[in-house]
Amino acid sequence: MLYLIQTAIMLALVGYILYKKRIGWSACINIYVLGLLIVDVIEIIINLLMNYYKFPAQLLSDPVKDNFLGILLADSVILPLTAITFCYHAAKHPLRAALLYSGIMVVLEWLYVELGYVVYSSHWAIWMSALVYVSSFLLFSRLADQFVNRPYSVPYFIRLLCFSYTALVLPGAIPDVLFHLHRWNPGLVPDIWSDDRIADLGSGFLISLVIASILPNVAMQRRTVTLSVLAACTVLFGLWAHRMGWLIYNSWNDALTVVRFVIPYILIFLYDRWQRKPLQHANR
């Protein structure tokens, strides 16, 4: 329940900032997708590879699903939304905001640990989390002013990389993590659930890296065709992964795989069109 309460609070705070026009939609989305990518990188290293902590949401009876629900709420909602509110404050007072938010997050994590919503292994401790929070907020504090007040000055490669990553990984998270309709099984690590998430997030990052490397260098009138070709290649990759035994269908099929990989490219197409004119203006 604590995850849902904090999710509701963060949604309300970000909604208020947007409603009062304290931050623009472009800045909000760019901060969210950057925050999601950074959080997922940290998650892969500390949680999935090292297995240093768990996130029992205490909402589902299945402990595996409950843990991944906690990860989904923390990494895909709470922490990226926190990045938005942080950048809003850090744009005015970088160091003060970094220290304040670090303190708040450490206290909140201590509360989560005490109530059993975060479980550490013997190799992790609260002071280690404090170091992660401080270093992350100090990094974001250097980017806050640019992301909030000059969002279109952020290199388009970075914006497109982060948005493409978000668009690619989120549509697969719920059917995979919560409902186990399919799962990745390339054999990268011994634990089957860590193997699934590392493969899903890792492949999403590599595909988004290809998109961000190619699309900005393509003429505007050819971008639709380019995205269509990239979408077709991604769909073929998903179907090929299933044939190779790397993507296992439980209650899934090839048609759903096509839909799962086409939806992100529709979102990327819309994002690119939205960012297109400001991008042309910034590059003059």
Which among 72, 68, 56, 73 has a CA at the least distance from the CA of 7?
73
Q: What are phi and psi of 209, to 5 degrees?
A: -65, -40
d(CA 100, CA 83): 13
Query: What percentage of the chain's residues is helix, strand, coil (to nearest 5)?
Result: 80, 5, 20
Question: What's residue 277's pLDDT?
Answer: 65
Question: What's residue 187's pLDDT?
Answer: 92
Question: What's residue 50's pLDDT?
Answer: 83
Joined together, the tokens standing for residue 55 give 């996130």
Question: What's residue 137's pLDDT?
Answer: 93
Asked if residue 55 lies in contact with residue 70, where contact means CB atoms within 8 angstroms, the answer is yes
Domain residue extents for the chain: 2-151, 156-282
Question: What's residue 123's pLDDT?
Answer: 87
Q: How far apart are the first and last CA of the chain?
A: 50
Question: What's residue 161's pLDDT?
Answer: 97
Q: Who's near 23: CB < 8 A, 6+ residues apart? A: 17, 84, 87, 88, 148
Residue 2's identity, in one-letter code, is L
Ranges of H-type helices in 150-218:
156-173, 192-214
Question: What's residue 280's pLDDT?
Answer: 54
- Evaluate if pTM is beyond 0.85: yes
Question: What's residue 128's pLDDT?
Answer: 93
Q: Who's near 252: CB < 8 A, 6+ residues apart? A: 175, 181, 182
Q: What is the mean pLDDT of each run of 10 residues along the chain (284 residues)?
A: 92 94 92 93 84 87 84 91 95 94 95 93 91 91 92 92 95 84 92 89 96 93 94 97 95 95 96 76 46
Q: Who's near 97: CB < 8 A, 6+ residues apart? A: 86, 89, 90, 137, 141, 144
Tally of CB atoms within 10 A around 220: 12
